[in-house]
A = this chain, B = another copy of it.
Amino acid sequence: MQETLKQPNEIPHNEKLLSLKYEGFKCVEISRWVICGLIGFLTGLIACFIDIVVEIVAAYKYKIVKRYIDQFVVEGGLCASVILWAILNSAFVMAGSLVVAIFEPIAAGSGIPQIKCYLNGVKIPRVVRLKTLVVKVFGVICSVVGGLAVGKEGPMIHSGAVVAAGVSQGRSTSLKKDLKIFEYFRRDTEKRDFVSAGAAAGVSAAFGAPVGGVLFSLEEGASFWNQMLTWRIFFASMISTFTLNFFRSIYNGNPGELANPGLINFGQFESGAYKLYEIPIFICMGAVGGVLGAGFNALNYWLTIFRIRYIHRSYLQVIEAILAAAATATVSYILMYCSDDCQTPGEHQAVEYPLQVTQSHNKLIIIEDLRLYCIHSKNTLLLVHQLFCPDGQHNSIATVFFNTPERSVRNLFHNFPGSYNSLTLFLFTFTYFFLACWTYGLTVSAGVFIPSLLLGAAWGRLIGNLLTNSGVSIFADPGKYALMGAAAQLGGIVRMTLSLTVIMVEATGNVTYGLPIMLVLMTSKIVGDYFAEGLYDIHIKLQSVPFLGWEAPATSHSFTAREVMSSPVMCFNRTEKVGTIVDVLSNTSAKHNGFPIVSDFTTNEVYLFYSTQVIKFFLHVFVERAQLKQRKLLLKDFRDAYPRFPPIQSIHVSQDERECTMDLTEFMNPTPYTVPQETSLPRVFKLFRALGLRHLVVVDNENRVVGLVTRKDLARYHLGKHGLEELQLAQT
């Protein structure tokens, strides 16, 4: 019976899978470009959709609330208006939270930790499904409109990644639809490349920062620098920001007026309006940002631990989200009401009322009712509110609370000097710090970028105010301090380096601010790292996934492959009994997918095979062939199965069949990477990172297999407070 189990030649071994020679190199390359273009286009469209929906719904919400407030200011009954606002906000947040909790819990949060893991090579279930995307988009609209301390920028990155996974695979598991296109790309490496393009497109659409997007992807995902891939990622990013810009220009009634490349726009800063002696001040602000960021992260860490222990049921999670929404609304209302910071626009501002200036007819209609002021400050349009203030003045704290968060950030950056008093800014910073910290980790789709920026802009502006009030006229503009504060706070919380600098510079639109932004981000990272890890890293670690850092832990030089490898490892012969194979693969203690094969005759040849392929083959031989008419197993079958190969337990093998022998030659990788057992851990680490390995066979001097190193074996070791520590890793 052995010959019937002999593999047909069409089934490729791994090496053939990797090679392009049978597929037409050019055609594949063109498909890749087309896919990247599509990814960029769709990501831009989604960003545009979220943006416009949030604009419209938020404007209606503010209109309703404002009308009641105005009415209550005249008639009394403030209590009712605060309850109205709290209920309205809670309703939105409840809707978003319910959808997330019930349909797709993985869509909670910003999704950046998940995408970081995915790009790092860790498989997280359901993270790039279409369903996740739909829930995410709906959720983020609800939480932003619900007035939580959140942004819609982080979720864009996740959205881009989902779009990329869907488009590149040409099918959707959620829709159970297979378009039968792009089947060549149905494997891990290709899919991951496209997902990194999607993440870049997301960053690009969120911040109008195509280069920042590329660098984000490289920072998180790249190991080997692949020029063509980087170039494609850049293409996707460019298309994404262009699409967003273009469609928004149509929405705003000026098609082709490409002035808003990202969801958040920092407005125009004057070129190089800082002096050399201000740079030390900026650096100190970076340190402040690092400390505040570390505090934020530590607080959020304890909160997350608390949540994992006590708030793990859906209904509790939804209730917490509703509470947070109600609290945010109440606190901001109280602050606005108690604030006596009423500002009269200065003479140098053009104040226009009613507003013809926003250029969007939709928005115009809404805004006309709102009795807003519109201030032109340095070519940037700012919206401010009268609220409880006398006519002709506007409520200063309402410019940050009673606005979408993006507008609030812009207000803090560009409002004229003196438009906030220091107490207002301090109160805002204090309350918003705790609100934002509470909010991150709620079961809602929401990002932490914008809250961080807003927080930093507030205390940055506070420092700017203090400097201005110090009587030294050289610190004229608190706006640039707001910008530096925003960079410092964001850097202190997320701890990204290169990509964040470029993102901030691109969002600022002025390369001369590059150096101070860079110095601020460096300082905040160094200071922050001294106290606590970055927010995303904390959340990744709490999920216990085998995440590989950039470099091997510093003290790992004394470790060798022998000490980290999984051993003993089950080796197969080239021809092996089916029963043996099934038993080994069924054994759940072997959690890896690759198994070494050693030759029957000489012990010195080492190969590697992947259980998923063998299982698919078994499925074909023992199950499907009974149903289908007998045909050979083709490459296509493997691709159709990807990425969900069946578990071995789903295949019943009879006692007769167990006795068959089978030739594993066709499944194996004939030249797997091997290292001697004396290889140091840093070198093993470098091989994994540089070559994107998942398995590395460890051999002794006679080239005999002595063990196998997997990602998990490496991720287990990390540098803790007591030297090298071993982590408990979750099953993935």
Question: A: which residues have CB within 8 A of B?
Answer: 15, 19-21, 25, 208-211, 214-215, 218-219, 222-228, 230-231, 234-235, 238-239, 241-242, 245-246, 256-259, 261, 271-272, 274-276, 497-498, 501-502, 505-506, 509, 511-512, 514-515, 518, 522, 550, 554, 557, 602, 604-605, 670-671, 675-676, 678-680, 682-683, 686-687, 689-691, 701-703
Contact = CB atoms under 8 A, between A and B. Distances in A.
15 contacts: A25-B554, A211-B211, A218-B225, A223-B690, A224-B686, A226-B550, A227-B497, A241-B511, A242-B514, A245-B512, A257-B272, A258-B271, A258-B272, A258-B512, A259-B512
Contacts of A509: 511
A230 to B, nearest CB: 6
Nearest to A605: B701
A565 to B, nearest CB: 14
Contact of A691 (B15, B604, B605, B686): B686
Given A225-B223, A518-B238, A686-B691, A557 B19 contact: yes
A223 B683 CA distance: 16
Given A25-B554, A235-B518, A239-B515, 17 more contacts: A15-B680, A21-B557, A222-B225, A223-B224, A227-B498, A235-B522, A238-B514, A242-B515, A256-B275, A258-B512, A259-B271, A261-B512, A509-B511, A670-B678, A671-B676, A702-B703, A703-B703
Contacts of A15: 680
Nearest to A22: B557
Contacts of A518: 234-235, 238
B686 A680 contact: no
A358 B208 CA distance: 34
A190 to B, nearest CB: 16
A597 to B, nearest CB: 13
Which one of A219, A514, A682 has the highest number of Cβ atoms from chain B below 10 Å of its Cβ?
A514
Contact of A703 (B239, B497, B701): B701
A214 B512 CA distance: 16
Nearest to A279: B242
Contact of A245 (B225, B272, B702): B272
A20 B558 CA distance: 12
Contact of A604 (B246, B261, B522, B702): B702
A135 B339 CA distance: 67
B21 A604 contact: no
Contact of A671 (B230, B242, B602, B678): B678
A5 to B, nearest CB: 25
A703 B705 CA distance: 13
Contacts of A680: 15, 671
Given A223-B225, A242-B515, A245-B272, A498 B678 contact: no
Contacts of A234: 498, 501, 518
